[in-house]
Amino acid sequence: MSNVNTHPPLSAVTPSKAIALTQEDRRAEQIQTFVRYTLLTVVGFIMLYPLLWLVGASFKTNAEIFGSIGFIPQEPTLDGYRKGWETSTPYTFGRFFWNTFLIILPKTIFTAISCAVVAYGFARFEFPGKKILFASLIATLLLPNVVTRIPQYILFREMGWLDTYLPLWVPSAFAGDAFFVFMLVQFLRAIPRDMEEAARVDGANSFQTLIYIVVPMLLPALISVMLFQFMWTMNDFLGPLIYLSSVESFPVSLALKLSIDTTEAFDWNRILAMSVLALLPALIVFFIAQRYFIEGISAGGVKG
């Protein structure tokens, strides 16, 4: 790694010596590149192999799951999927996927609308108390949820919202994820205001400007927001665990935990098969819309 150290000042070497050094350098460079690729490939393989193994194991018989390193099943079977899908409850996993969808869809839409409106207010207006409100946004960003969770639970209980999706939906309609507001504000600040000012001169009010000018420009960032919300909600476990008690309204995450607790001790492939299905939507969405994730995360910095 230290070959560059050996570079003497150029003036001090004769031309022929300089060429020899460059060749040596190039060789060292090639070796380094090789080492880097090898390292990246090996580490990447080790990291992704568990996922590969998971997919393979979901098609294995229960006897084969433990005891083999390989991921290709000897006697491929769909038993895990067939029986896992049925579950030991009166509902199939189809129901749980539907429930997940019912939680995600309103939540994602509410998040996009409320965060866009609030970010617009922060990025384009001056008003009394703006500084302190923006400071509160940053404070909320750093505030650990663990400290507000219990009173929130009591609040939703008082309102009679337990065992409904309302506790999961409603906060997102009030720009509940400070992070997204912050990300959109940053994005808006980087967009020049010319178009908006032109619209205002033409007589549009600020709301029309928001709808017709700002939202279209904000669209890529809004897609990032919705995708992240989709992923987080898909993976959310603690929220549903606290608020939902009837199996019929369980999302996939809770149903999966339930199936570990209730499935017979030797029916491993059912659980693995359902785990594969649980990961599938997030994987598909990620590969379709990768660009938005990487851009969103690089621009704003995301937890995860």
Partner 1 sequence: MESRYMGLAYLAPYIIGLLVFTMIPFLGSLYLSFTDYNLINAPVWSGWANFSDLTTDRTFKRSLNVTLLYVFLTVPFKLAFALLIAVILNYKLRAIGFFRTAYYVPSILGGSIAVAVLWRYIFADAGLVNLVLTSLGMDAVNWFGDPVNALFTITLLRTWQFGSAMVIFLAALQAVDKSLYEAASIEGAGKWASFYHITLPLITPVIFFNLIMQMVQAFQEFNGPYVITGGGPLKSTYLLPLYIYDEAFKNFNMGYASAIAWVLFIIIMVLTVAAFWSSKKWVYYAGDKRS
Residue list 273-302, contact with partner 1 (CB under 8 A): 274-276, 278-279, 282-283, 286, 290, 293-294, 297-298, 301-302
Residue 19 CB, shortest distance to partner 1, in Å, is: 18
Q: How far is the CB of 27 from partner 1 (least distance, A)?
A: 16
Applying CB under 8 A, among 18, 78, 211, 260 the residue interacting with partner 1 is: 260
Q: Considering only residues 32 through 91, tell me which ones interact with partner 1, judged by CB under 8 A.
A: 33, 36-37, 39-40, 43-44, 47-48, 50-51, 53-54, 57, 65-69
Q: Which of 4, 12, 132, 265 binds partner 1 (CB under 8 A)?
A: 4
The C-alpha atoms of residue 243 and residue 186 are separated, in whole angstroms, by 33
Q: Which stretch binds partner 1 (CB under 8 A): 20-28, 84-92, 123-131, 217-225?
A: 123-131
How far is 50 from 73, CA to CA, in rounded Å? Answer: 15
Residues 126-155 that bind partner 1 (CB under 8 A): 126-130, 133, 136-137, 140, 142-155
The two three-digit tokens of residue 109, written as one number = 């839409």
Residue with Cβ nearer partner 1 (39 or 198): 39
- 193 makes contact with partner 1 (CB under 8 A): no
Q: What's the distance, CA 279 to chain centroid?
A: 12
Binding footprint of partner 1, residue count (CB under 8 A): 99
CB 263 within 8 A of CB 270: yes
- Footprint (CB under 8 A) of partner 1, residues 202-221: 205-206, 210
Q: How far is the CB of 44 from partner 1 (least distance, A)?
A: 5
For partner 1, which residue of 15, 160, 202, 303 counts as binding (CB under 8 A)? Answer: 303
The reply to whether 181 sits near partner 1 by the rule CB under 8 A is yes
For residue 118, state whether it binds partner 1 (rule: CB under 8 A). yes
Between residues 102 and 204, which has the closer beta carbon with respect to partner 1?
204
Q: Please tell me whether residue 103 binds partner 1 under the rule CB under 8 A.
A: no
What x/- string results for residues 8 through 37 when contact with partner 1 is judged by CB under 8 A? -x-----------------------x--xx
Interaction between residue 105 and partner 1 (CB under 8 A)? no
SS (HEC) of the chain: CCHHHHCCCHHHCCHHHHHHHHHHHHHHHHHHHHHHHHHHHHHHHHHHHHHHHHHHHCCCCHHHHCCCCCCCCCCCCCHHHHHHHHCCCCCCHHHHHHHHHHHHHHHHHHHHHHHHHHHHHHHHCCCCCHHHHHHHHHHHHHCCHHHCHHHHHHHHHHCCCCCCCHHHHHHHHCCCCHHHHHHHHHHHHCCCCHHHHHHHHCCCCHHHHHHHHHHHHHHHHHHHHHHHHHHHHHHCCHHHHHHCCCHHHCCHHHHHHHHHHHCCCCCHHHHHHHHHHHHHHHHHHHHHCHHHHHHHHHHHCCCC
Cβ at position 114, least distance to partner 1 in Å: 5
User: Rounded to the nearest whole angstrom, what is the least distance from the CB of residue 84 to partner 1 in the complex?
Assistant: 12
